[in-house]
A and B are shown apart, each in its own frame.
Chain A
Amino acid sequence: MSDKIIQITEMNKWFGDFQVLKDINLEVEKNKKIVVCGPSGSGKSTLIRCINRLEEHQKGSIIVDGNELTEDTKDIEKIRAEVGMVFQQFNLFPHLSILDNCTLAPIWVKKMPKKDAEELAIQHLEKVQIADQANKYPGQLSGGQQQRCAIARALCMEPKIMLFDEPTSALDPEMIKEVLDAMVNLAKAGMTMIVVTHEMGFAKEVADEVIFMDEGMIVERAETKEFFANPKSDRTKLFLSQIL
């Protein structure tokens, strides 16, 4: 139990009448890197959005770091502060400079003194190699730089888990690499990560396990090597044959 940082049991979710997630069971141990892949519309994004309750699930339970996510979880904000998230569309705050984007949440949510927050932000911006852009506004940066800033912003909250929702899907091929590099470095530093992505190269390089989802169900879950070498289900084989 102690090292299982995320526990999802029998989780179901509907959008209206449409069931997007069916009986999801998933356990993630501390410091594990998990890649979630699958065709679009298979519920990958919804799954990880459920983990920090950007979406509500209707049945089953999700336990994050020992706290169950329920309708009346008063400290949902505390859980969210411990779960960083990076989005496909970056979602930086366009009215704030890069530095302010990174310090906003530490200052206002964690009540960190401004000076400390700025030092921390610069540290993380250096890790993703955009410290020199700190005083620019998001609109002045390229997509890759924006996404790296988004990663730094999430890291500034010093989260225990990082969720990535197709972080490279909205980027030019040239910029994908710089973002993936930042993610690889993060993985090597020992962060617990759940990554929804189509970048199979990234999966092979850093993932401990790969999950394949289709039609709202987890079709296959296996160690990375095992997953790519001999996938068990036919659906996975078909998917891999198309994507590789």
Chain B
Amino acid sequence: MQRSSRARKQPLHAHHKSQTDLSAWRKGGTIDSEKSLQSHQSANDQKYDSQEESLEQALSYFEKVQDCVALKKQSVPQKHLDAVESTALKQGLPPEGFEILLNIVLSGKFADTVNTRLLKSLIPASVIPEDSVVKAVSWLCVSKCSGNIKLLFLKWLITMFDYIDHKEQLHALYGIFFSFLQDERLCPCICHLLYLLTRKEHVNPFRIRRLLELQARMGMQSYLQALLSLYKLFCPEQVTITLPGKMKTYFKNSDGPWKAAITAVRQRNQGPSSLSQTLFLGTAQPRSRKRKWNAQLVIPASSANTNNLEDDREKCFYLYSTNESFPLEQLHTFPQLLQNIHRLEFPSQMGSVLTNPLLLHYMNCVKDESIYLRLYYWMGQMLQEECTWCMVDNPYEEEFKSFLETVYKAECFLQEGFSACEEFLYKTLPLWDGFCCRSEVLRLLSWIPLSSFSDIKSYLYDPLAQLFFTSSIYFKCSVLESLKELLQNWLNCNAIQVDLESSSLNTTLSGLVNGVAELVRFVGWISTVGLRLENNSMLLLYFILDFYEIVCDMYLKYNLPLLIMLPAGIFYPALLSMDSVNLNQLCYIMYRYRTNLVAAKENELCKKKMLQFKFSDQTYQVYNQYIIAMVGCLWTSSAFQKDIHPQGLHMDDELLSKTAVKELRNSFNIVYHPAMMGYSIQFLQQICPDDTTFNFKLIKGKKWNWYLEYLYTQGLKGLKVFIESSISRVSQASCNKAGNAEA
């Protein structure tokens, strides 16, 4: 009683520093309460203020306690204990509280029940000062407290490890912690703590031997396994261990009573915690089934290179190999990658980079040919060994699929194809049934690198054409989709390369132009044949036009001096297509062709000589023929007379009259065209709702313009840009027939 009253009379004065800290913390607490509970602001302030006061008093009381004290109900220490507990659970404790309370707990002045309650309420509001922990460890060494308290303290330390502000001194105490290992009860916790603290310099033969002795005495214990595998990670030349595959946790859940409290406090004080470090060693994922040792489709775990035997003479043998290398097992975040990028080392098995985005980033930064070569060998063997259509009796199609998928994702990430994959495709496409792992294989196609490789026809195009012609329409569409991606990837990669190295432009550019031209011609050919095989399927046409949407823009969008017109076998089916999506797309493509050709012509005329390539006159000629046919069809209703393309629509009047179709001439204009009929009917219904005869002849003059506007609002943007660019309308009033092709 006497002591406590004295404490109350003397408010904290011994530690000026901690006092200011405390008031600062109080302020923070108030601000937080302002944020969260504005309506009850004043009441809360009072509550918190009084709470802080009592905490201050409690701390100051505990700081002064000299002798052993018994705890009685309603006593002063009981009251202070309650104050500490309630504040801790609500707001957490301020940094300077820890030293005082840890001193009390570990010095054994109170009974264990008090110590336990105090320990349980050691929840940090922000951080825990390292000094307080160091002092606590020194208390631990003099063994004033009971075994239970020691154990609880260690569990507390493990849970709070991430909240300790610095850890240098703790690392220096490594040997002290290590010596506690001999206490069998503490051993699991000490192992966990050492696991958190261990650095490479801590591992030495003496400690390894001690741990092995413990292992011999206590048998297989997960905590020893964990620590030993960490030692193995740092010093593979001194110790080794194989962890059982089914291993899940190394340390039993030692979060104790704090985890929930700490998250609650964190959330109240500053939102969700970002400090949750997961601990794991890089063991491969458990395998689904027993496999041959030499053909594990399981991608190896990224583990540190164990092939770094200490040898000073060969330090410079490998640039990235230093003693200071950062273990990959501990690389989990992008900031870690940035901080340690100078002391990272590729994993012992390169294949593991595929599933590790951080290492893929790193791969992008390091230009070392051996990386690619290691990956090449590994991936090549893996693909050949596991290929489900080359190896007889390979029942693991799902696994192979997911492997191909992983490879593809890595390629997308790196924006670069793997040469092993390219070779694999060349080797196996002739044997492929076009069914097994279809979408995976086709997607891999899109990352085949462009090269001056003259044999790409026999390795890629020939087998692909064979499959294309003999497979379903869906397969055809997928192939076109992949080839579109392929073209896009080639153009993108080149766009980057041109920016980077303009010196070797000429050689690479002509190679690129030839390669792209070959691909576009190949697609033109299979598309033409494919359309005929599939009866001008709208679906197929859609995919074909998608491809040509890139082709028609190569000059302006990708700076490539190449324009290849789409073949007549695609143009005419698209022009006479039954659905408006394709017709609209064709209009857009022709508009882009026009824009590109006009730009090329201008550059040529201005002698700007952007690139010294010149488009052949034939390209312009074909374009003009197409545009005459198109305008004749859609606008002037004169396609049968004016079309001059040899594969075009031109027909003698005599022949036409034999068909006995009325209104034949305008049957493909934007009103009567089968693809547009739906629009014109709806338009008629809107302008004359009462007329049910569908008199299409009404659409002329002013209504023709309305009709156009109507079409544009229906999303036919391709048609809009085409008409606006390629048809010069003589006068807005009498534009029913007038139209002219340019270019």
Are chains A and B native binding partners rather than an unrelated pairing? no
Spell out A's residues near B (CB within 8 Å).
none
